[in-house]
Chain A
Amino acid sequence: MPFLRAAVNAEDYATYRDARERHDRRVWRRVIWAFLPALVVIVAAGVIGTVLVPPWALWGTLAALVAVLGWVGSPSDRPLLDVAVVVPRVRRLSAEVVTRAIIATGVAKSPEDIAFPVPIMRDGPGWRATVDLPYGKTAGEVVDRRDGLASGLDLPLGQVWPEGVPGDSTRRLVIWVGDEDLSKARQPAWPLLRSGTVDLFSPFPFGTNNRNEPVTLPLMFANMVIGSVPRIGKTFSLRLALLGASLDPTAEIHGADLKGTGDLDALAPVAHTLVTGDDPEDVEILVTALRQVHADMRRRMKVIRGLPREICPESKVTRALANDRALRLHPVVVGIDECQIAFEHPEYGEEMVQICTDLVKRGPAVGIILLLATQRPDAKSIPKGIADNAVIRFALKVMEWRVSDMILGSGMHKAGYSATTFTRSDLGIGWLTGASRERDAQITKTYYVDARGAESVAARARAAREAYGNVTGMAAGIAPETAARVDLLDDVRQVIYVGEAKIWSETIVERLAALRPDTYGRWTPEALATGLKAYGIETRQINAKGPDGKRANRRGIELGHVLAAIDRRAISR
């Protein structure tokens, strides 16, 4: 329409209108002639097809049409449907290539130095080469130069997995070469994603190893430490373990996401305690929960001690005992992400370290399991007493072999198990030790369960829990007890100083007001008496020294009664 555009440019409306009208008329005529006959034919065919022709003729026509069009449109050089053949596209791993690769790493100098005690063979979706390195060289040296080895094999890094052989000579090396890059290989969905429940007393699926075999996690009687640099899958691994635990309807779940990004929020429908963030009140919830678990542990010890040998032969919780509601020995799983925040907390850090140390040492036997995730489990972020008692270790990518050894245990790097060999794209892939009886350590890729998947799993776990009748704590909508809110008993204990066996109510009220003005600021001795009555502590005439140093008879309490009440509460919880 250059003519129309010229008319606009010349600002000649009369010409434009004239030309536009002619143009529109012509175009309309074309449109009508083009589409009207087609419309008529379609409508006529529709009428005939629906009214006059039987349906089988209609389908027959369609089939014939498809056949004819297919025949016309098929490529001339080959038939439309081919014979189904799966072409194996796996390259055989030869001893020559392995030798070349090891020489490329510099660990060996000439092919004569390297021996193959076992022929190279298929192992899962990959090849397994067992190699004896020259005397004096260790498997760890090759593991260190995994990238060089991959280059020598002319393969991407994610396909080459050298490792030592535990319990064998340190010069024996196993190179497993996968057909696919592990970080890119298709992984099956978590078997528990859509259905199924978990019995925590037997292992549940956690991931797959590099041979694509399932790896299970036996959480019962084993604490777990997860470590890696940030953004590699630490929290997801922890969440997966907690989700698995929550699918055991008898288990009590405590989750703490001290990073505070809400990765564990999916557990809200099932968690007895769920802490998100590291604000003072969040930490208080965590501390209170840990105190309760700790007190519960002592109660459990007493319960188990009191059980006859026939029921409890090994002095530890069994499935049958856990199922007996009256005993309340159900599994308790506590997962803390970024646990260094808790353990280095200025106010509660020491207490939490003490509680957790005790929990990891004595907890497993009575069914209390601790899962800790951190970036670098050094002496500060996971104190030694805790780390040494964690049986299961999971090390995702770390930067330094020392850190890897901190997670997996010292000497593991030398033996050829090092989490430094992972790359940043190896999300959710790490060395898992202590999870399997057959294999000391295995490269494990955790099942990927995203936030929505986690929510649906939690919903299923919630349903199972409702059916079993085990929806407790925050999951049941009960506000978490915080140190500031509830523990009158602990607070009273706290304000009774050394050497005070008896103390006036008014002195306690004064000290409580100083301790927590928000809570106790307006308390009277009568209010204290009412509060303590709930714990079975009576106020009575007490002869004690007042603040002025003079003895007098006033209403008050005895330290012994408070201690007894604390013990009573610990047992009844």
Chain B
Amino acid sequence: MTALIATATAVGIPLGYFAVCAIWPWTNCAKCEGGGRKMSPSGKHWRDCRRCGGTGKRVRRGRRVWRYLRRQATGQQ
């Protein structure tokens, strides 16, 4: 039973993450947490988040890894 659960977990979680990367490639920017804005150091003004360029989104790491691997495999670009 324990082995079954362990196997299911070990197989299921990566598969699930793979599916998420395929269907929803974007996730919230880690810096601004999806807001797209950051408070200035003085705490008075909002500025666009520099990391995501104000969109609040970034591409998931799994998707980047996938892209990298594909590029390696196909030899394109």
Contacts and interface: CB of A to CB of B under 8 A. Distances in A.
Interface stretch (B6-14, B40-48, B55-63): B55-63
Contacts of A14: 55
A261 interface: no
A13 interface: yes
Interface in A1-54: 8-9, 11, 13-14, 16-17
A2 to B, nearest CB: 14
B26 A16 contact: yes
B63 A8 contact: yes
A39 to B, nearest CB: 27
Nearest to A10: B59
A62 B76 CA distance: 59
Interface in A328-387: none
A13 B63 CA distance: 14
Contacts of B35: none
B3 to A, nearest CB: 23
A13 B55 contact: yes
Contacts, number: 15
For chain A, which range describes its interface: under 10, 10 to 19, 20 to 34, or 35 or more residues?
A: under 10
A16 B63 CA distance: 15
B32 interface: no
Contacts of B53: 13
A13 B58 CA distance: 8
A8 B55 contact: no
For chain B, which range describes its interface: under 10, 10 to 19, 20 to 34, or 35 or more residues?
A: 10 to 19
B5 to A, nearest CB: 27
Contacts of B55: 13-14, 17
B10 to A, nearest CB: 28
Given A8-B25, A8-B26, A8-B59, A13 B67 contact: no
Nearest to A5: B25
A532 B56 CA distance: 93
Contact of A9 (B52, B57, B58, B67): B67
Contacts of B25: 8
Contacts of A11: 58-59
Contacts of B67: 9
B63 to A, nearest CB: 7
Contacts of B58: 11
B28 to A, nearest CB: 11
Contact of B52 (A8, A13, A16, A17): A13
A11 B51 CA distance: 12
A14 B55 CA distance: 7
Interface string B59-77: 1000100010000000000
Interface string A446-486: 00000000000000000000000000000000000000000
Nearest to B60: A8
A17 B63 CA distance: 17
Nearest to B21: A8
Nearest to B55: A13
Contacts of B26: 8, 13, 16
Nearest to B64: A11
B26 to A, nearest CB: 6
Contacts of B63: 8
Q: Which of B55, B63, B67 is most buried by chain A, counting CB atoms within 10 A of its CB?
A: B55
A11 B64 CA distance: 10
Contacts of A8: 25-26, 59, 63
Q: Which of A9, A13, A17 is most buried by chain B, counting CB atoms within 10 A of its CB?
A: A13
B52 to A, nearest CB: 7
A16 B59 CA distance: 11
Contacts of A16: 26
A145 to B, nearest CB: 50
A11 B63 CA distance: 11
A17 B55 CA distance: 10
B75 to A, nearest CB: 16
B4 to A, nearest CB: 23
Contacts of B59: 8, 11
A9 B21 CA distance: 12
Contacts of B52: 13
Contacts of A13: 26, 52-53, 55, 57
A493 to B, nearest CB: 51
A8 B59 CA distance: 7
Nearest to B52: A13
Nearest to A8: B25
Nearest to B56: A13
Nearest to B70: A9
A191 to B, nearest CB: 41
A8 B57 CA distance: 11
Contacts of A17: 55
A90 to B, nearest CB: 50
Interface string B18-34: 00000001100000000
A11 B58 CA distance: 7
A18 to B, nearest CB: 11
A394 to B, nearest CB: 41
7 contacts: A8-B59, A11-B58, A13-B26, A13-B53, A13-B57, A14-B55, A16-B26
The 3 closest A-B pairs by CB, nearest first: A13-B55, A13-B57, A8-B25
Given A8-B63, A11-B58, 10 more contacts: A8-B25, A8-B26, A8-B59, A9-B67, A11-B59, A13-B52, A13-B53, A13-B55, A14-B55, A16-B26
